[in-house]
A and B are shown apart, each in its own frame.
Chain A
Amino acid sequence: AQSVTQLGSHVSVSEGALVLLRCNYSSSVPPYLFWYVQYPNQGLQLLLKYTTGATLVKGINGFEAEFKKSETSFHLTKPSAHMSDAAEYFCAVVPGSGNNRKLIWGLGTSLAVNP
């Protein structure tokens, strides 16, 4: 079965430090890839997505992610964390093949930003 793995359910960084949130997926065919962010007491909103083309994708709030087919990864990064980045981050994948091309969610990574 297709799956999405987010390494680390909790990540803590200092303000100004690099943010790296990891996402790996299982799919033999390149899928569509998404990162969503959920701020406290809110719904999820799209950060960025990869469908085709350039493998480095830029999103909102200074985040970016790189699709690496050989590593089946789509890690999310931001060069310098801000206090306002504290939130839950979800990686999601639509498999590239098969009859049931529904969105598959990772379990989420909670990002804490320390002053």
Chain B
Amino acid sequence: NAGVTQTPKFRVLKTGQSMTLLCAQDMNHEYMYWYRQDPGMGLRLIHYSVGEGTTAKGEVPDGYNVSRLKKQNFLLGLESAAPSQTSVYFCASTVRAAGGNSPLHFGNGTRLTVT
């Protein structure tokens, strides 16, 4: 059982380049999330989705776009990368549950460097 798979694992971009990070889950989870993790700042929510075809902004959405065309996939796009977007990006998913008591399942992250 693969769980949550993120591709790629590492990427180096030049300022202004674009890229898409892919998250795939095989657990039939309704909810999916994109976080970024930076030293001393914990996890910050970028965007999330509560179901196929729906997306919503999190705490730090600027500079990112997302799409959830299929239930199992959640894509994070950077249209014009900036050095401030150098970070480790994590995708997570969970089942739909009233009140939010279901734990998140995380991928192993994508380490992105923007030069």
Interface, chain A (partner B; CB < 8 A)? 9, 32, 34, 36, 41-46, 49, 51, 90, 94, 101-103, 105-108
> Interface stretch among B14-22, B69-77, B79-87, B101-109?
B101-109
Interface size on B, residues (CB 8 A): 17
Contact A94 B99, beta carbon cutoff 8 Å? yes
Q: A43-B90, A44-B90 are in contact. Are A103 and B104 (CB under 8 A)?
A: yes
Cβ-Cβ contact count across A and B, 8 Å cutoff? 46
Report chain B residues within 8 Å CB of A51. 101
* Cα distance A46–B40 in the bound complex, in angstroms: 21
Structural contact, A44 and B106, CB atoms closer than 8 A = yes
Contact A44 B101 (CB under 8 A): no
Across the interface, A107 reaches (CB within 8 A) one of B40, B101, B107, B108, namely: B40
B: residues with CB less than 8 A from A are 4, 40-43, 45, 90, 92, 99-101, 103-104, 106-109
Please tell me if the beta carbons of A49 and B101 are within 8 angstroms of each other in the complex: yes
A8 to B92, CA, bound (A): 26
Closest to A48 in B: B103
